[in-house]
Amino acid sequence: DLAYHPLPEGWVGFVADGKTVAMRRIELPADLRTLSAEELSRRLLQPFRGEIERAKRLRILASGPLEAVDFHALPFGGDVLLAGRPVVYGLDLPVLASTKPPGRHALLVTDPREDLPGALAENRAVRGRLEAGSHPWNTEELKNDQASAAAVLDRLPEADLLHYAGHGTFSGLGGWDSSLRLAQGTSLTLGDFLALDRVPAWVVLSACNAGQTSTETPVQSLGLAHAFLLAGSRSVVASTRLANDRQMPEFFAEL
């Protein structure tokens, strides 16, 4: 675990491996946008170089303006940090026990507003990967005008994996009006997902801003990805900013 927290003057970073904890003081300007990726790496990662190089998996816990930093994409060891080990972003949430162990039922919700040709290509690639191999998934599709809010809510509790390829929005105070746009002019907000009795164990939101939170509220804000985690999902993959429709298919098929 690699955690950062502000002090009255400067920052402090902690690294923990389950046996020991080390601490380093870190100097950062008020506006992180003045620093290049190389300089961010020098200040945030290099003080923990030895521990990071030994890590098989790295979990980042950041706060405040550091939540906007793509730690996984910072240069490290001649490449980006993610090239050497998986990088995940942890939230201080309990692991909820599920009464039903996850199976292999995937729900693919694709291009509900019928304006993302890349989403259709992504659907074909992802479905092909899921249905291949020695342990294929049972896949179900809601595509184009079939993917209304009512249809998604009806099938979502039975899914073990949700792959949504469409539009996402981040809006409202603290992100509370954020939504996934669906067919027939409908949408689902994070409140809809929080109200479900069961959510998929694994969620992939291939949509703009689906993982975004706000740094303008006095407490931690929510985004669509966080709603699924709070409702009981084990893992969520989502973008914290705008996503390129034509670059998504290859990326998510590989994922």
d(CA 245, CA 117): 8
Burial (CB < 10 A; 0-12, 13-18, 19+), residue 221, is: buried
Confidence of residue 255 (pLDDT cuts 50, 70, 90): confident
pTM listed for this prediction = 0.75
Q: Identify the pLDDT of residue 96.
A: 59
Q: What is the mean pLDDT of residues 90-98?
A: 62
d(CA 144, CA 136): 24
pLDDT at 191 over 50: yes
Tokens, residue 57 = 């998996």
